[in-house]
Amino acid sequence: MEFKNLFSTYRINDLEVKNRFLMAPMTRSRASQPGDIPNELMAKYYAQRASAGIIITEATQISLQGMGYAKTPGIYTKQQIEGWKLTTKAVHEAGSTIFLQLWHVGRVSSSKVNGLQPIGPSNLMANNTNVYIFDGAPNGDATFVPVDEPKEMTKLDINVVIEEFTKGAKNAIEAGFDGVEIHGANGYLIDQFLRSNSNQRTDEYGGNQEKRIRFLIEITKAVVLAVGKEKTGVRLSPFISFKDMNDPEILQTIMLAVKELNKLDITYIHLCEADWDDAPKIPIEFREKLRANFKNTIIVTGNKTPVEAEELLEKNLVDLVGFGRKFLTNPDYPERVKKNALLNEISDNHTLFGGGTERGYTDYPFLN
């Protein structure tokens, strides 16, 4: 198959990307300690994968409070900003575009990770949900621990987090990123506000759908004001309900949020779609409605094959398609697609999270 759409260029505001392949955000827990600082190894990892037209980094916490897993990078200290400059410089020199994903996990955390009690829209713990630490387990494996009960956020807490997202966005631009992605998906803090089962507030941030989207919209407005609408994207996950996030109203709530985000003229919406084998399929009607309600770039990520990506692009339902594990193991994934070449598989599951060496991170071979 020729994949003429996947290999076509695309303009996202003032940025022209060389193809429609997007490297999806994937947590790898390689930040240097202490301080959760991005490093040379991470820069090499991202630069190797600059065959993607655009890269979205792994989720990056906007504060220590926003951290939920061990050794994930931050964007709230000077050392972290300087560390990220290694990555942006390397990726730009290798010919790609890169956005930083801004992250606050909310209730999906444990004091064993950061020494702090988690916070959330309500004091409801996420059932059957774990995070990980590194405590000397064999093979350097992560040890999974249950999340703690969160503290319900006060209005002051809400204002602090909005400011942290704003500062994180400014820091990302200072570090050389082309833009930022606000992580509003996968059961983390913003998603917790969107859903009726995790948000049981009775103030202006909870209750009906209009109030539940307020936190997302206020954060987005603040980030747009800080760095510009052309540098701001938002990630949402309407069809994902793990981390105890099953909400019967979420599709209507997400679409209401989309309409408000469209008014803000942000540069893109990124749909995170389930990537397991029996995952729910996204109805074509939802994709058509999203396209009708959002005028700018639409990105989808979720275990798509190149054929599926090409079909979505051909039907003008999406503009960019994210690939995760394929880029993890194949830094030259677009070239392999073009040549219908064999793909590398994950060499060792122990290296997916954590580890301070190249093994299972930057040692996956190129085709040539």
Contact status, residue 181 vs residue 165, Cβ threshold 8 Å: no
Please state whether the peptide bond connecting residue 365 to the residue before it is cis, i.e. omega within 30 degrees of 0: no
Catalytic residue among 45, 69, 188, 268: 188
The number of angstroms, rounded, from the C-alpha of 114 to the middle of its chain's C-alpha atoms is 20
8 A C-beta contact, residue 43 and residue 96 = no
Length in residues, the chain: 368
Distances (CA, A) of 6 to 95, 322, 358: 17, 11, 30
Pairing assessment for the beta strands 151-152 and 179-183 based on DSSP bridges? unpaired
- Among residues 267, 76, 273, the alpha carbon closest in space to that of 160 is found at 76
Is 188 catalytic? The answer is yes
Secondary structure E strands in the chain: 10-12, 15-17, 21-23, 54-61, 97-103, 119-120, 130-133, 143-146, 151-152, 179-183, 232-236, 268-272, 297-301, 320-323
Please, what is the Cα angle at 13 between 260 and 258, to 5 degrees?
15
Query: From the centroid of its chain, how far is CA 32?
Result: 20
Angle at 108 between CA 103 and CA 112, to 5 degrees: 105
| CB-CB contact of 109 with 144 (8 Å) | no
Instruction: Give the span between the Cα atoms of 247 and 337, in whole angstroms.
Output: 37
162: left (phi over 0), alpha (psi -120 to 50) or beta: alpha
* Nearest to 127, CA basis, from 9, 246, 297, 47: 246
Instruction: Give CA–CA dist 168/158, Å, rounded.
Output: 15
Report whether 49 contacts 344 (CB < 8 A): no
Residues with catalytic function? 188
